[in-house]
Amino acid sequence: MKQEYVELFKSKCDDKNFEKLKNIENQKLHDFVAKYTKLCNPDSIFVRTDVDEDADYLRARALQIGEEKTLRTEGHTVHFDGYYDQARDKANTKYLLRPDEVLGSDIKSEDRQKGLKEVHGILENIMVGKQMYVCFFCLGPTNSEFSIPAVQITDSTYVAHSEGILYRRGYEEFRKRGNMDKFFRFVHSAGVIKDSVSCDVYNRRVYIDLEEEMVYSTNTQYAGNTVGLKKLAMRLAIKRASQEGWLTEHMFIMGVNGADDKRVTYFTGSFPSACGKTATAMLEGEKIIGDEIAYLRQVNGKIRAVNVERGIFGIIQDVSEESDPVIFKALTTPGEVIFSNVLIDPDNNPRWLGDGREKPESGINFAGNWGPGKTGPDDNEVLFSHKNARYTIKLKNLKNCDDNLENPEGVEVGGVIYGGRDSDTSVPVAQSFDWAHGILTQAAAIESETTAATLGAEGVRKFNLMANLDFLSIPIGRYIQNNLDIVEGAKKLPLVFHVNYFLKGNNEKYLNGMKDKHVWIKWMELRVHNETDAILTPIGYIPKYEELAILFKNILNKEYTKPQYEEQFKLRIPELLAKINRIKDIYQKKVFDTPHILIKTLDEQKQRLEECLKIYGDYVSPFVLEENQK
């Protein structure tokens, strides 16, 4: 360690914390911590290592300075963000790019030198009067080729505590790797604090420097803007994965039990918001490894995946004993849980929208004392809990957590699922012909209809390839090509599926129940092992009625009729053709590097559909297709 750093760190650290920094022999790390110690100018520094004592300190400190408050249930705390700091700040989240870098017209960016100058100006002396926390974590399991070490500088105990729940400890990973050059870095400050919340939201900035694999976040506490290892690190990892030949995906990882419960088949899945992603990952009786972000690599000819995280930062609205029994139990029994932006009732219990209990009459929430009819500083009505209220828990607190969560080798992926919200086009479940067909006609063509909970018109289709569009840090065409390339030379490829839980009939009622997705998942598990047949269609393979009827009876104890099946699985050719035209139009007009094979594959699917239309008409019964294949 440089002598100037020794003097600097000793002026801010006690002997114990100084030794923690000194014991990591990494010049780049020391340069990083020294630079932002000088710039942010904290009164003191605390270094979080892998020992429980350090985690305990941060939890206690969060309560001491008021960033969290204890609740009635042991281990539960609550954090409130400011009234105007309740979600990801998309307007001020930008990539810092050189003038010669182009990611795409829809991606927000800032000139790199200009952005660095601005954010460093905001960070100057921002931690005066505060303690700086230097925290070491690991993305992915430790001691693994999937591992990415990361260091977070923050002045928020809530951020440090949240990351301690969500991510593996990484101090020893840093020590083991010595003078490595590649690790993710994050600098965050909550800025000026009043009543324990950030109050200078007009200077809120979230800047992503891909060149240095570094993220800056200022004047905000909301975890989506500040917990750097989450979606912000995901952007860094997408870029690194593209350079190194693996994938960073917005995917859950779940284990599905075979018919005899002796076999577990692992699936990953990408769904846009409000399309059933968490409900799928948390299916009763199955296993969960992760609900949010996955790293995928080809290892020894097979595609394997790990959960980047070890916890969940989940939306709590509508989590109830009936809808999400496993999560609800974890949120209502003793254990380490951080609630954010819920209501605290007079008995010091957390309450949230859709929790299945009688609505509270009073309490304290992110807007202060709450009662019916309360309005906020913007004169809008304040609900008793925010719609984006959250919970932060460790996955191991869930009874359905899979034993392979910490497996450094990850799990072999048997199937990949893509889903969207679609009322009139796609069948409930379909299997692609092969990997490329699935990536190009399903994953790269995801659309999701807006709901009543979304600002703006309801039912508008939004394009969101692989449910990852908001987080891409490379051009779209390259991202698609990376997904094609990862299986090159693989001995065993995962099957690719598409699901749609939101198909409606002519009466505008949903054609499937909420639990029917379990049947689709079990059918997919059988398909992975070639234990069930399927009907060949122009868009891929769909289930046969007789086999679905058995699954509905065995899994849900539910009768499944031929009319139901026919209505759900008929090919809606005009709508399917219209979708192809919409997707082609997006790629041809908005994506400058669209792979030629994408348009070619869409055109081939269009031709198959048009030939089917000539023979059978606009709407084709699956029974007709099956009969003609005999």
Q: Which residues are part of the catalytic machinery?
A: 275
486: Cα within 13 Å, side-chain hemisphere: 28
Q: Give the span between the Cα atoms of 176 and 149, in whole angstroms.
A: 11
Residue pair 254/292 in contact by the 8 Å Cβ criterion = no
CA distances in angstroms from 159 to 33, 64, 95, 223, 224, listed in the order given: 18, 15, 22, 7, 10
Residue pair 183/120 in contact by the 8 Å Cβ criterion = no
Q: Which amino acid is at 346?
A: P
The two structure tokens encoding residue 387: 């719609």
What is 552-588 written as a DSSP string? HHHHH-----HHHHHHHHSEEHHHHHHHHHHHHHHHH
Neighbouring CB atoms inside 10 A of 493's CB total: 18
Q: Give the span between the Cα atoms of 174 and 148, in whole angstroms.
A: 10
Q: Which amino acid is at 476?
A: I
For 304, the 3-state DSSP assignment is strand
User: How many whole angstroms from its chain centre is CA 525?
Assistant: 23
Q: Give the span between the Cα atoms of 137 and 229, in whole angstroms.
A: 9
Residues sharing a CB contact under 8 Å with residue 130, sequence separation 6 or more, in sequence order: 42, 43, 155
Q: Give the span between the Cα atoms of 557 and 374, in whole angstroms.
A: 46
The two structure tokens encoding residue 219: 């004047």
The two structure tokens encoding residue 153: 């500088």
- List residues bridging with 214 in a β-sheet: 185, 209
Backbone φ, ψ for residue 341 (5° rounding): 65, 30
Residue pair 322/315 in contact by the 8 Å Cβ criterion = no
